[in-house]
Structure 1
Amino acid sequence: MGIKSFQGSRAEPEKVADLPISVSDYMSTDLITFSKEQTVFEVMEILIKHQISGGCVVDDNNKLLGVISEGDCMKHISDSRYYNMPMDNYTVEKRMTCNVETIESHMNVLDAAKKFIEHKFRRFPIVDNGKLVGQISQRDVLKAALNLKGQSWHI
């Protein structure tokens, strides 16, 4: 009688090419955005209502114009008080940050982690062909790292 092996068949290891490794695999696409014509007060109300710390400013064609954050709103409040100016007539266009650093959706998510460290941002807009398509946060990159745990980091 021959010896039988009780060892089951082994699962094929996941191929690196099959792993979700691009920013597009982890970015958020359901974003709250702002227009440059909105008032800073409208932005403050939306930030509080949705419990977010900022958002992208886009035009009617979804082209990224800038970002506006809680910090931009705080500066507006502080400046208005300091200069004794009315607070309710300022638009996003006057307070938003322009020349925003972005990431492309095909970037490797681990390369995005390096960009977070270099720039010390909490999130980056994702732009393809000049249009806003999503956003990736530090938390999204952490989720990606957990999903890729045990794989080669040289993907």
Structure 2
Amino acid sequence: ASVELMSHQPSPFANLESLKIYPKRFRIGLKDKVDISAEVKNYLLDGSRSATFTIISCEEIIIEKNAISAKNCIAELQLLLEKEKADIETSKDHTEQENAPENHNAKMHEESNAYAENQMQVKGNILHINNYWDRWKKPFKRRKKNINDIISKLQEIRK
């Protein structure tokens, strides 16, 4: 009865290029295909005979959402990787400055002094190592967290 009522009225859509129909609700795993009768399709496209008519499936919506999610994860991963690269460069520059030959030569000259002075130097080196470790412990932990974040993003993208 409703088809007969529609067929006597002009289509509200004139000069359409494309008409897409999306499901009102969708569930993951739902694979039912929606069929629209020829009468309803003709009614909708009556004033637009050259228009394309597409029914979007639930599966297509899920695929599109997954693609958007993957794209967002990749963007987040890219930011994490850029941050990690900057941290590595900063660490590398700092380490190169500390390990410059002139620093080592000065230390070696000091170490060649008398035994008592050498003992003081050993204590100084131990203190230097301990200070170095204390200074780098936090960045190492942060880098480990960054690496874990990167791995998590990669696993999320793989899903």
Q: Same fold (TM over 0.5)?
A: no
Which is strand-richer, 1 or 2? 1
Which is helix-richer, 1 or 2? 2
TM-score normalized by the length of structure 2: 0.26
TM-score normalized by the length of structure 1: 0.26
Q: Over alpha carbons, which structure has the higher Rg?
A: 2
Report 1 or 2 for greater relative contact order, CA contacts < 8 Å, sequence distance ≥ 6.
1
